[in-house]
Structure 1
Amino acid sequence: MIDGYLRRLGIAGRPEATYETLLDLHRRHLDTLPYDNLSIMLAAIGAAEAPDPVDPAVTLERVAGGGNAGYCFHHNGLVALVLEELGFEVVRRPGQLIETTGPSGELDHLALEVRGLPTAENPGGRWWPDLGFGDAFREPLPLVDGHHRQNGFVYRLVRVGEQGWTFHHDPAGSFHGNLIRGEVGLDEVATRHPQLSTPPGDYTTKLVVQRRDATGADTVRSIRHTRIGEGASSRELRDFAEWTAALEGLGLSLEGVEEAALRELHQRQSADYDEWLLTR
C-alpha cells in the first residue's frame, strides 16, 4: 500500500531517506491530500456508521485507493508509517492545542520528529514534518529555536526542555499554536480518537476542509471559504453546488457519499452558520 500512496503523490519507486525526499514528500502530500473531518461529520448526522478509524494501515489503504485522509491523527499517522518504511528515523510526539488560555492539557495532535538529516541550515538534523495542521507550514520546520519564514508566513519555535517545543502559528492561521512534549504511542492515539470524533467531540460540529499550497492556504469551514496568503479572500457557500465544488476543488473526494447526505450536511451547516452570525 505504501507504493500506492507514493504513486498517488506522483512518486515513482521508493526514494532514499534523505532531507530532499522528506521535503518533496511533504509538499506533494499537501498538494494531494487535504485535511478533513468529512467522515466524522457524516457519522455525526447519521449518514455513516462511524468515523474513519485512525489505524495508520487502514488510512494508508484508503488513501492509496483514492480516498480521503482525515484529520491530524490520520495524516501524521500515515506519514510516520511511510517514512519508517522508507528508512527514516521517526519519533511520534503528543501535541496540545494552545488557545488564549493556554495549552488544552489534552492529546489534540499527533506530531512527528524526524532525526538524522543534518543540513547547513539545521546541523542538528532534527526536523518537524507536519501534514495534519491544515493551514500551517508548507515545508518541514527545523527543530531550532527562533522564527521561521515560509512564503510570507512567520512561525516561531521555542524549546521546552530537551525534547519538547512550543509552536506559535502565523497570526493569519486558524489556531494559536501547539505544545509538543514527550512521546506518544498509537494505542493512546486510538483511545483519544473517539473522544474527538463522536458527539460532543471537538471535531463533530463544523465541517472543516483545508489545503496548504505553495503561496497560502484555503479553508472551507461550515459554509465559508476563506483563503490566507496570496489571493486572500472570503466568501459564503450557500449554494449547494458551489459548496461541493469548493470541497472538491480542495482535493476532497466525495465519491461514494450519497447526495442526500451531502445536502443534509450542507443544510445543517448553513443553519448553524446563521445561528453563529446572530451571536457575533
Structure 2
Amino acid sequence: MLLRQRVAAPARKVRAPAWDRVAYLLSFVAPGVLVYACFVLAPILLSFGYSLTNASLFATETRFTGLDNYLRLLADPAFLTSLKVTTILTLIIVVVPNVAGVGVAVLLDRPGWLYNALRGVFFVPVVLSSVVVSVVWMAMLQDEGLLNQVLGVRVGWLSDPDLALYSIGFIISWQMLGFCSVVYLAALQGIPQSLNEAADIDGASAWTRFRKVTWPLLAPALTTNTVMLLITGFKAYDHIQVLTAGGPGVGTTATVAFNVIQVGFTANRTGESSAMAILMLVIIAVVSGVVLRVLNRREVDL
C-alpha cells in the first residue's frame, strides 16, 4: 500500500485593502505636500493673483487690471536697470566662487590635521548671517576703513558707483566660496586614485592630469554649484540693503529682489511688486532649467 504524502499548499498572502494602502501612503506623503503647498505654492499663487490687480495700501478699491503691471514693468527703465544689475551681479557670483572653489579644493585635498582645520575655516562664512558678513565688510571697505589704510589709498569701494556693485559681488562670492570648495572637495575625494596613477605612468603633467582626468569628473559638482550660485545671485537682497541700500546714486546696486521689497513694502504697491516677483521667478526657472540641461548633457557626454 502506497502512502500518499500530502503536500501543504502555500499560504495565501493576505493583501491589505486598497483604502488601507492609500491611507498608509498618504500618512507619509501628506505632511510634506501640505508644508510645500502652504509655504511654496500658496504664496506663489497669491502673488500671481495680486500681480493681476492694482492692489495697494492706498488704493480705495482693488480691481482686476490683467497684464498691465507686467507691461508697465517691461517698459520701466528702473526695472530694466535692476535686471541689468542683477545679471551682472549673478555672473560675478557664478564665476568667481566656481573658479576659486576648484583651486581651494585642490589645495585642501590632502590628509592631515592642518588641512582638516583649513576646511572648517573656509566653510565658516557660509554659516554666518548675510547681515553679519555685510557689517564686517562694510567696516573694512569704508573710505577710512581697514583695506584703504593697509593699501595706503582712498578708494570708494562702496561709495563709488563704478565699484560698488563689484564690491558686493566680491563679498557674496567670498561668502559662497566655502560652499563651492566643500562640494568640489567631495567630488575630488570620489575620484578613483587608479586614474591619477595611470595618468602618471603615461607621463602626464599635473596640468594635463587635471584637465583630462580631474576636471571632467567634477562635472556633477559644477552643476550643483552653478545652480546654487545662480539662485543666490538672483535673490541677493540682504547684502545690498546693509552695504549700499541700492546706491550709491540711483539704483546702481538695486537688484530685482531689492526692488521687490522697496516697491512692495516701502511704496506699498503690492500689485506691481508681485508682478516683479513673478517675473523674477520665471527668469530664475528658465535660466536654471537651461543651465541644468546644458550641464547635465555635458555630464552624459563625458
TM-score tier, shorter chain, comes to under 0.3
Larger radius of gyration: 2
Query: When you count strand as a share of all residues, which structure comes out higher?
Result: 1
Larger RCO, structure (CA 8 Å, separation 6 or more): 2
